[in-house]
Structure 1
């Protein structure tokens, strides 16, 4: 993983369990002995650790420059670790917790820094994705074979992006064509549960333009997703059958330099998923989902000090629900985006960004909603400045929404770089989350008087770079008000702005090389508390583990590469009352590959080597020990 040398974190001490505070941090820090400056992909030295980050400030920065806490996963790391799904890519990253309701294709939730699953903004090539009805992004249907890199920005970003960026932003950047002749790529694989995967693509580029195209297919028999109990919990049915999944995806993108001052890019991606799950005649037991994104971008350079970007995009999230072969419901949502951003170099080391975003959300369903469309216009400004060893970032945004009116957010961050390579940073930011269409208008349930959920986050961080590697420590606190929860109003249950939460966290990360092994380790300690009045006050927020630890180790022996991942998750509770406890678990994955040539490789991965039996949502099963073998051809 690529990590920045610094980030931000909370100013108050955290109420962590005593066992956590007793955990010797030397286990993590010891991994930071002897980083090899030439290490590739998963460990970088001081000069190599500066991938360009575009998400944290909506403008290109190196990881050394950004004041945000960022993790970047590039294509080389995805392939080396043999990640096949977004769960593989994201699991165990600093501040990231995942839960899912079964195996491949099952609904997946991401809790970034302990915030709600819909408090993370998800972008694909700059276009917001996710269902406007539920607020949930379709993690399970995003095709990893089409991805070039993933940027995970932790901390509030509403002052740049608007709604949803309370916990942070995850941006997925798809493959780009590289300069050179027409080049094919191909991957074929098979594994446990009668799983097969195939993907291929073509790429080419010149000094004036490039294109990339890709297709992918996955099919698996799966396993029994849910051990539900009728009238008790889980999926509320007992259907001990295998629940399969099929996915077909494709993507086409290209870029052209039409003039020295004008560049144009266009892209389109579609992913179709069909998921079987356990359910009854009311909830269904099969769904067909289509995720699409389309984007057209113009980059202009009117003056040497002024660059301008105009972006037009659309995302679709279409879902059809069936019980056996009987059609039940349809939920189609569409998000249109128009954005104009201007970056102005006002002086050396000082940049001003001014921009406006317009977004229109529209839904089409078999149900009748009181309103099926809304508009939002956001105006934002940002200042990035450097004063010797001091860096500053200030941003403000005003959103005007046709449903809830105006809402302003802001953030400020400072970083000071000491002469010994240490960097101290601090930040404070506000963010918000607009109510979804289901919360506002769902027939018989919605509440059109809902207000946006609001948050405040304070953060401090310390990081450094040395010949042996890099490390970072980040402490933060997030307070969320006006959380939307279901409450009994008269004789009817309705969503209301009644809940509050307080989340404190500590993130530690380091890389190293030890006896030829490239190591990457991180530890997250989390204390996510319900601060709402009532019986759940002081309880842990549902489905967030209090501790997670991940260690990756890889080594090359000539043509043979070997590696493994250790992931440890602490306990969590399945619901706000904290009556249903989900025990902690440990996962061990092993991987190996053999290079027949520079272009042809054979890979094999064993997941959950110890066949751990665990749940991230009550009653829903997770994969046991599995094996997957792939053959990759990439000239």
Structure 2
């Protein structure tokens, strides 16, 4: 696949045609009204949401056969990925080109983040135990507070349903990869439960071809999830969730001929009480904590982040109107045993108000939030979105919003830190036109998100007041950025075949230098098809990504690439399912991070037992 595809106007017209009613969007039309999403912390039908939202269900996750959650996300409109080598390598996910730390990530209502690097540890999230993923593109700080400058990604693990449902999956693939996971869920009377275990080992491949250790860089990963529910009575319910993930990834460090190890731990635990006081009023009270710990061996580096959150959410509904009021507290703590051990903490207290309207052709959403940070004082954010149904099939919408992210504790207090850093802030506007008809759906979304006080690392002698003789550099509010673009997406069902396409025309740039932001392409597209042939479900997709640059000065070019992925699954009797997937069928060599190779042609075969 040649990236010259992106240099022709004809390609843009082809993709534009696929985003008209000739094609269809992310979810089959029959299920749109039945799909509930929580973009504003309240359950809404997907058709009633004004925000740019995508829902990925368990069936799609299983069909993907992907090695990690970031691989699934990178195939969605408006999302891209950069990674240091294989699936266990350090991973960044960019929503509409925004920095990876600008996406708020929430697992079962528990916020995860690293106060060292900023952003979620995508490589540590166990894919096999995920039931559903919701992607909200665009700033959402007026609902979720700090971090959500680019968007929000919510991850939901499995829940217990009526009956008893065990499942076991095993699989093997290229690079000496073996996977196994088991789950057990059910509901008995007032109690429901879901338990899951997963294990993956891989010999890997040489992720640094030019490094000092030309061997395979493998990884080991273990994961566990638990969900318990107790329906006290018709109006009250208690829920508890927990997730544990441990990963050991090899990489080429300073020792010639020997691998170093990166040890990643991710923990979440949450408890919530849900109360339905009347048909129009309900409350959710939750408390949660997450832990993100990263260690390298034998080099002595450890960073450990803990985030504790408390939320009281109230919701009132009256006819076409809906009001929400949230009181939230967040406490961040960082233990960082780097060159100079650092232990710091901070807190944020917030009040958030929301109003929603869905009446006839009109849909509106208004949110306002005030955060009081223990370090930076008060910060107020807001958002306004409105949609109008031009016809039963066509809907136009517009929205505007502000957002912010406070500096990480590492950016302020480590040896590279600058204590007087200011929060990064953004202003976003977007416009969309969507079509939803029988067997087809489509959308065109235009957006512009401007960020001030962008934090970057400034290196070089004398570059920072806080720089030392050993480390002449530090973090600073030195830049402004703009993430603007156009996303066209759609798919259409033709008989037993589902056709899918998306095109992103993005311009993520540094407003001060005019340069393209590092590791983000200006053009990318996905073309896919799925079809039933007898007992087989067959599918394929082409991913096309234009060139990027690995540095801020745009001198280190990363070539564009195109890869073809194929997948197939079939039922073997009533309880067994066979899955096969081939990634990068053309064995394309490409890099998303300079100096780190990606997997070539890869095969995976899996077998699942799930009695019905």
TM-score in terms of structure 1 length: 0.90
Q: Structure 1 residues 519, 28: closer, same or farther in 2, change over 3 A?
A: farther
Distance 2:274 2:214 in 1: 54
Distance 2:529 2:6 in 1: 29
Distance 2:412 2:302 in 1: 18
Q: Map 1:477-626 to 2 at 5 A.
A: 477-487=448-458, 488-490=463-465, 492-514=472-494, 516-532=496-512, 537-626=513-602
3-state SS of paired residue (1:57): coil
Deviation by residue 1:372-425 (Cα, 9 ceiling, x = unmatched): 111111110000013431111111111111121111110000100112421000
Which stretch shows the higher mean deviation, 300-309 or 282-291?
282-291
Q: Structure 1 residues 453, 31: closer, same or farther in 2, change over 3 A?
A: closer
Q: Structure 1 residues 519, 54: closer, same or farther in 2, change over 3 A?
A: same
Q: CA deviation at 1:20?
A: 6.1
Distance 1:79 1:238 in 2: 37
Q: CA deviation at 1:371?
A: 5.0
Which stretch shows the higher mean deviation, 185-194 or 487-496?
487-496
Q: Structure 1 residues 162, 21: closer, same or farther in 2, change over 3 A?
A: farther
Equivalent residue number for residue 321 of structure 1: 296
Out of 401, 425, 447, the residue aligned to residue 476 of structure 1 is 447
Distance 1:84 1:493 in 2: 37
3-state SS of paired residue (1:29): helix
Distance 1:365 1:280 in 2: 21
Distance 2:384 2:370 in 1: 16
Equivalent residue number for residue 35 of structure 2: 52
Distance 2:259 2:120 in 1: 20
Q: Map 1:322-401 to 2 at 5 A.
A: 322-323=297-298, 328-345=300-317, 347-367=318-338, 368=340, 372-401=344-373
Asked if 1:67 is matched to 2:76, the reply is no
Residues 215 and 249 in structure 1, CA contact (< 8 A), matched pair in contact too:
yes
Which stretch shows the higher mean deviation, 592-601 or 394-403?
592-601
Deviation by residue 1:28-82 (Cα, 9 ceiling, x = unmatched): 534767789xxxx96512x422353433111001110000000110001111222
Q: Map 1:166-245 to 2 at 5 A.
A: 166-180=149-163, 182-206=164-188, 208-228=190-210, 237-245=211-219
Equivalent residue number for residue 7 of structure 1: none
Q: CA deviation at 1:251?
A: 1.1
Residues 191 and 628 in structure 1, CA contact (< 8 A), matched pair in contact too:
yes
Residues 15 and 503 in structure 2, CA contact (< 8 A), matched pair in contact too:
no
- The alignment yields a C-alpha RMSD, in angstroms, of 2.1
Which stretch shows the higher mean deviation, 138-147 or 557-566?
557-566
Which stretch shows the higher mean deviation, 614-623 or 556-565?
556-565
Unaligned runs of 5+ in 2: none
3-state SS of paired residue (1:198): strand
Distance 1:421 1:35 in 2: 14
3-state SS of paired residue (1:616): coil
Q: Map 1:445-464 to 2 at 5 A.
A: 445-464=416-435
Equivalent residue number for residue 12 of structure 1: none
3-state SS of paired residue (2:101): coil
Out of 229, 239, 247, the residue aligned to residue 255 of structure 1 is 229
Aligned residues: 596
Deviation by residue 1:200-238 (Cα, 9 ceiling, x = unmatched): 11111145331010110000000111134xxxxxxxx42
Distance 2:15 2:498 in 1: 16
Distance 1:356 1:281 in 2: 50
Out of 146, 154, 158, the residue aligned to residue 129 of structure 2 is 146
Deviation by residue 1:111-132 (Cα, 9 ceiling, x = unmatched): 1111111100111011111212
Unaligned runs of 5+ in 1: 1-16, 229-236
Deviation by residue 1:473-497 (Cα, 9 ceiling, x = unmatched): 0000010000012231256422111
Q: Structure 1 residues 35, 459: closer, same or farther in 2, change over 3 A?
A: closer
3-state SS of paired residue (2:147): coil
Out of 126, 134, 141, the residue aligned to residue 117 of structure 2 is 134
Deviation by residue 1:510-552 (Cα, 9 ceiling, x = unmatched): 11123532122111110111112xxxx1110111111111122
Q: Structure 1 residues 156, 483: closer, same or farther in 2, change over 3 A?
A: same
Q: Structure 1 residues 206, 42: closer, same or farther in 2, change over 3 A?
A: farther
